Amino acid sequence: MARLLPLLLLVGCGTKSIGLGLGAEHDARLVANLYTWPCASGGMTDSGATTPGIEWEGVFNYDVTLEYAPDALLDRGLPDSGCVEGLDLFARDAGAGGLDIPDAAPVWSNGEESGVMARHSPGFYGATVFNNEHSCQDAQDLLGEGTLLSDAGVFSGKHTPTPGVYESVTLTGDVSSTSGLEFGATVTAEWEASDWSDAWVQLRREDGGSLVESVTCRAEGNSFTVDKAVWALTSSAIRTDVTNLYVAVENSGTTQTDDGQYIEVITRAMHVAVVQD
């Protein structure tokens, strides 16, 4: 057996024999993030009376990200319950294990919308839909049936889950449209949405546009209150100029490629308390 060892090691070092992405761990993640704000059809009549109209979630931004890190994808899973500090739900790279997808120039499509995803770093691709920025297009229309990948190597044909019904989000409490929540303020979020697998809120304390600290909480039902228990996970000593609040619903799942790699797929719709330029 000792004479066979060098031969076995050489076979294992052959580039074509390395089974990248063939373990049980996730290898890739495709996320469609839809950011929304409140829109209404009300107005003032000729007599000066105000009509309440209909409220809905309009779209102010939409982005798609794709991470590829075979057997080394960063964990961005929601807490099983309660709240957690510092969870990074929005990818900006694919981490230390990021690798470019062979023969890929990923394209995303969502109904009538489509575009190329730019490569930003090894294993990380992204695209932003600017033509819906700060619009009152109905979020439900843009959610479509999910976001489809093409020209993405072995991940071509994979898509994010079909969204649920997403209607409106209401924030009750002291919330500024420019600075968000005052430190320690109690704010309750309620939403009209159905057929989503998960709901969560994220308190995001920012300074000069950069995230300083965050708290992410899993929500049960269709409401959540930011209270003392949530604020206890933050520090009043940290300087911020905006404390934003994201209220999100999402559908997620995992699917496998023909060659055995695992890709996590997520569709999100997120109401944002402070919409920044």
Residue of 19, 259, 24, 18 whose CA lies nearest to 155: 259
**Mean pLDDT for the stretch of residues 228-256:** 96
The pLDDT value given to residue 201: 98
Domain ranges for the chain, please list them. Answer: 25-40+54-270
pLDDT band at 25 (very low <50, low <70, confident <90, very high): confident
How far CA 92 is from CA of 31, 74, 121, 124, 140, in Å, comes to 12, 11, 9, 8, 26
Share of the chain above pLDDT 70, in %: 86
Say what the pTM is. Answer: 0.87
Can you tell me the distance from the alpha carbon of 272 to that of 171, in angstroms, rounded to the nearest whole number? 10
**Mean pLDDT for the stretch of residues 73-91:** 95
Q: Is 15 exposed, middle or buried (0-12, 13-18, 19+ CB in 10 A)?
A: exposed
The pLDDT value given to residue 134: 77
The pLDDT value given to residue 209: 87
Please tell me the total number of residues recorded for the chain in this structure. Answer: 277
